[in-house]
Amino acid sequence: MKASFAAGCFWGVEDSFRNLKGVSETKVGYMGGNFENPRYNDVCSGKTGHAETVEIQYDPSIVSYNELLDVFWRIHDPTTPNRQGPDVGKQYRSVIFYHTPMQKKLAEVSKQKLEDSDRYSNGIITEIVPASNFWPAEEYHQHYLEKRGRKFCGF
């Protein structure tokens, strides 16, 4: 199965999902915009509408979509619009791109559960929208932190 999440800079997001048991592949790229075949510089311009996104291939018999959602919520601040840590811009917004009606339902339930938990004093601004074309990022972005012997520590 496939899952797609945007939660700030895709290097750290990918790193958080890549080694989960049941995740067979991760790819970083761009989704949610209105520009064909965007490149990194295009997305950073803020004019394409894309978010830095991680596309995940996973085996639901090993890791559930709800478990992926738990990781997603844990690795970023879903209350800050267009910002994660030092990264600012629409490309760093918080988005769950769903691929199936069931993913949409599970995402909505998990978001409501987080809102009801009072974990955050500000409201959750994460978008839950249908997945669209995924444009893989340039090769040097793939497994970026792993290639450099670094590990993502979260926000």
Which residues does the annotation mark as catalytic? Answer: 9
**Angstrom distance (rounded) from CA 76 to CA 4:** 15
**CA triplet 142, 31, 71: central angle to 5 degrees?**
65
